[in-house]
Structure 1
Amino acid sequence: MVTSKPHAILLASPGMGHIIPMVELGKRLLTHHAFHVTIFVVTTDSATTNSQILEQTSNLSSLNIVNVPPIDLSDKLPPNPPLAARIGLTIVESIPFLRSSITSIKDLSPPSALIVDMFGLPAIPMASELGMLTYVYFATSAWFSAVTVYFSAVDEKIMETHAESREPLLIPGCEPVRFEDTLEPFLSPGGELYEGYLQAAKDIVAADGILMNTWQDLEPSATKALRDNGILGRFTKGETYEIGPLVRTIEAKPEGGEKDAILRWLDRQPPESVIYVSFGSGGTMSENQMREIALGLELSQQRFVWVVRPPCEGDASGTFFNVSSGIDGTLSYLPEGFLGRTEGVGIVVPMWASQAQILEHPATGMFVTHCGWNSVLESVVNGVPMVAWPLYAEQKMNAFMLSEELGVAVRVKEEAGGVVGREQIAELMRRVMVDEEGVGMRSKVKELKLSGEKALCMFGSSHHSLCEIREACEVHLQSSDTKLSPACYSRVNTTVFSNVVSY
């Protein structure tokens, strides 16, 4: 029997920064907007942490999660390929499985729409030929979305001027992008990364709609510019929708269930007294930088929870694909005596911790973050100010927004040699945790927390956006012909998409 509910197919690209937003969007569509949802999860390994995240959704019986079989790329890529190349080719090679799976469920529940992130763009031609609406989900800021939309139509001479003169890149209706915060593809107009990102941008604006994990009160200028047909809206085929903040939800423990050791320790600390330090599921530091962070924490004389990963020289995204890689149970790379000197004051956690639970805890007073958008939103929705320490991709733009526009963070300054010293680290921590400056940041971020709650509630702006998407899917479901078209995945240009950078 064919269901009358709209059926959304979500394609989650490799990496927890891509999987988590898709899972949370799926939950929202299912529980608040009466969608039938199937999530295809593309992975490059069988990391246990990936499984833990997905298992948290198992109590939602109508949320179908399909793990795409891992793809062997060993004979298709050179040694140590760029991050974007590995993700892009993994998606392309997964399309035959995706097509076959969608075909098998069409009689029971014809899919109304395919929702992909920036790396899922190779699946859009297939979805269009299968009679589905296509949406691109930016699990990042409206500002970054605006840059991408503008880039799809900008004159290359403007980009050359930006790269050569190091002048800010002017984005209509939005904050300019300073050269020091610019995106890597923009540094080499006409180069491989540039051309790959340009093609991706053109494919994004040709979709039936663009979803963004943000809300109007957080980014009023960028969201307005994207919706305004006289500014950036004229570059997009479909509408843009602010649907955030969508962040990881915490599964309730059974009454009497045992708490995690970290949470038990946090229970014993005063309110807003603990610094949480984590650089995302993929972020890594050099051994020298790890040493300075440790000594900076000690010098700050503040309580802390620090999630550490083994040092990785020269690659800030060293554990992007497998958050468990390199774990050996030892912390020998930390300064001698550090663990003993900070016993009782802080906790060092190897590899992974439940970030959502830590940030929600009343004892957490600050977050030292790499400024990945998922982490930014999790901090904001819990009213926690930040030290912004961007590592790669669009994170420098996020850090600028947090520190300069919103006033909810202080930003790390680069130092000679590329290693941020312990003195600066300690100073920034104390500015947020002890000084009057931190009081103002805490007040501002709690205001944003309330505005985010309002956006998602009934009649809120983000709730309304998702209602608009449901309405479009219902209309499409009633009018579309569900007959399948011939296979099209072989036409996807793997070279174009393999050079789209990671965001």
Structure 2
Amino acid sequence: MSSIRNSDKQLHLAMFPWLAFGHMLPFFELAKLLAHKGQVRITFISTPGNINRLPKIPPHLDSFITLVSLPFLPEHKANLPENAESTMDVPGDKTAELRMAYEGLQESLAQLLKSSAPNWILYDFIAHWLPPLANSLNIPCAYFSVFPALDTCFFHPPKSLVGNPAFLRTKIEDFLGPPKWVPFPSKIGLKFHEVKKFFGAPPPLVENVDNAILSCDLFVYRSCTEFESEWLNLVGELHKKPVIPVGFIPPTLQVRAVDEEEKNPMWATIKPWLDKQRHGSVVYVAFGSEIKLSQEDITEMALGLELSGFPFFWVIRKEQLSLTDLPNGFEDRTKDRGIVCKDWVPQLKILAHESIGAYFTHCGAGSVLEGLNFGRVLVTLPFYVDQSLHARVLEEKKVGVEIPRNEQDGSFTRTSVAKSLRLAMVDEEGSIYRDKAKEMGLLFSDSHIQDRYIENFIEYLQN
């Protein structure tokens, strides 16, 4: 610690995340943790609307973080909904247009990097064009992954292995278990219905993501060796590049958003209801801002919650209900023990409340970290392939219970929802999940461990 703080060398880092808040916020929180050390100056780059929606920078960090807005080019902006600048602003069929608009920022980003000359640039998985640009300007680039190292090992092997017939993955069956290049025991794999979705991804997009991730000079992960040392080590062995974990960047260290939430009128109405519930009795349900739930999904989730008998707090976005409906009479039948909230809520405050026993989630990387930070058992229902891998590793580590689905079509039932919730919350055989989640919560929320990772990262960049 002292060697870093006594150094006169101040680093200048540029950060350029993908236009999704599940990516922008971890980049932003990493920027603040780095700036807090006093040895790093950060230029954080995004579009004007996204910059305006970021949390406020704490006054004592103002001089270390510069927010820079790069507007979309008019020809790309015209293909998007009005004022749309992030994935939460666009329907799923417009994501390609958002990627094109993001790619259209190349020239203005190049001019900014030329004039500001950062020591490093941290970029995201979509920007396949950024490593060549950085290389042309003699700026080293680091891929900052908000996903665990497991994802890189499973989806992005080095090209030397891809071209080797012994390691080819051309059939659905090749993805149902761990890749052949994983040298240690693991049950990680996708389900049949998940692989079909993966094979349906456009080949150019898959190739671009591969190029973006594998063209870096340094891998940086929102992870730690205490959680996935074997996968972090494997990334380095496979790709022959340095790998630096920066810790989980847990929510209790983020922006001190909890203080702002205390003043929010929503919390004033939510807290009294939570206070009335028994310790560890409530299921918190939230599936992020971008998951599109079908009518069948909504129906089986709702009736599963009802069948479980547990108190629940379900946050469901209005957009998720725009084309669907809750089952007829569901809210009336469960009004004495459940709340369906169709507005923004202070999620960290809810997860921190002692009445919460389990977090029913899609298993996005940020949601996993927030739930485990407070020692909550995760009941998982993944919708995208990265979430599926997260659910499998959480099951392996006995901190998450995955709701069973039909292998062929991915459907699930209200009965499987209720049974999984009971296993996580009260069944004797599920006690190992509850104990392990509490144990993991101590690791995820340990500020000393987090501080050590940030200091190690700065030391690596300085040297």
- Normalising by structure 2, we get a TM-score of 0.82
**Per the alignment, in what secondary structure is the counterpart of residue 441 of structure 2?**
helix
- Deviation of 1:465 after TM superposition, in Å, equals 4.6
**Per the alignment, in what secondary structure is the counterpart of residue 383 of structure 2?**
coil
Is it true that 1:173 corresponds to 2:173 in the alignment?
no
- Deviation of 1:340 after TM superposition, in Å, equals 2.1
Give distance in 2, aligned partners of 1:196 and 1:38.
28
Is it true that 1:213 corresponds to 2:222 in the alignment?
yes
CA RMSD, 1 decimal: 3.3
Q: 1:112 aligns with which of 92, 116, 119?
A: 119
Listed as ranges, the matches of 1:9-88 within 5 Å are: 9-32=14-37, 34-42=39-47, 46=49, 54-57=54-57, 59=59, 60-61=61-62, 62-71=64-73, 73=76, 85-88=96-99
**Per the alignment, in what secondary structure is the counterpart of residue 133 of structure 2?**
helix
Is this contact kept in 2: 1:9–1:111, CA < 8 A?
A: yes
- Deviation of 1:4 after TM superposition, in Å, equals 5.0
- Deviation of 1:391 after TM superposition, in Å, equals 0.2
Is this contact kept in 1: 2:425–2:434, CA < 8 A?
A: no
Amino acid aligned to 1:296: G
Change in 2 beyond 3 A, CA 1:301/1:30: same
Amino acid aligned to 1:30: A
Amino acid aligned to 2:363: C
**Per the alignment, in what secondary structure is the counterpart of residue 46 of structure 2?**
strand
Give distance in 1, aligned partners of 2:417 and 2:320.
26
Is this contact kept in 2: 1:24–1:247, CA < 8 A?
A: no
Q: 2:294 aligns with which of 278, 286, 298?
A: 286
Is it true that 1:353 corresponds to 2:355 in the alignment?
no
Q: How many residue pairs align between the two structures?
A: 434
Is it true that 1:138 corresponds to 2:145 in the alignment?
yes
Residue segments in structure 2 that go unaligned for 5+ positions in a row: 1-7, 81-89
Stretch deviating more after TM superposition (332-341 or 465-474): 465-474
Give distance in 2, aligned partners of 1:254 and 1:466.
25
Amino acid aligned to 1:218: F
Q: 1:437 aligns with which of 426, 429, 434?
A: 429
What is residue 92 of structure 1 aligned with on the other side?
A: 103
Change in 2 beyond 3 A, CA 1:129/1:471: farther
Q: Percent identity?
A: 25
Change in 2 beyond 3 A, CA 1:226/1:41: same
**Per the alignment, in what secondary structure is the counterpart of residue 438 of structure 1?**
helix
Is it true that 1:424 corresponds to 2:412 in the alignment?
no
- Deviation of 1:255 after TM superposition, in Å, equals 12
Change in 2 beyond 3 A, CA 1:289/1:80: closer
Is this contact kept in 2: 1:181–1:397, CA < 8 A?
A: no
Residue segments in structure 1 that go unaligned for 5+ positions in a row: 311-324, 476-503
Is it true that 1:367 corresponds to 2:353 in the alignment?
no
- Deviation of 1:239 after TM superposition, in Å, equals 0.7
Give distance in 2, aligned partners of 1:267 and 1:442.
21
After superposition, what is the alpha-carbon deviation per residue over 1:359-416, rounded to whole angstroms, capped at 9, x for unaligned? 222221101111111111111111000111000131111111111x111111111138
Amino acid aligned to 1:441: Y
Is it true that 1:389 corresponds to 2:395 in the alignment?
no
Give distance in 2, aligned partners of 1:348 and 1:222.
38
Give distance in 2, aligned partners of 1:136 and 1:13.
12
After superposition, what is the alpha-carbon deviation per residue over 1:169-219, rounded to whole angstroms, capped at 9, x for unaligned? 22333536435279759965xx97445434543443332210111111211
Give distance in 2, aligned partners of 1:307 and 1:451.
27
Amino acid aligned to 1:91: Y
Change in 2 beyond 3 A, CA 1:37/1:242: same
After superposition, what is the alpha-carbon deviation per residue over 1:432-475, rounded to whole angstroms, capped at 9, x for unaligned? 11212332212101222222345x52xx4x64554343234435
Is it true that 1:239 corresponds to 2:231 in the alignment?
no
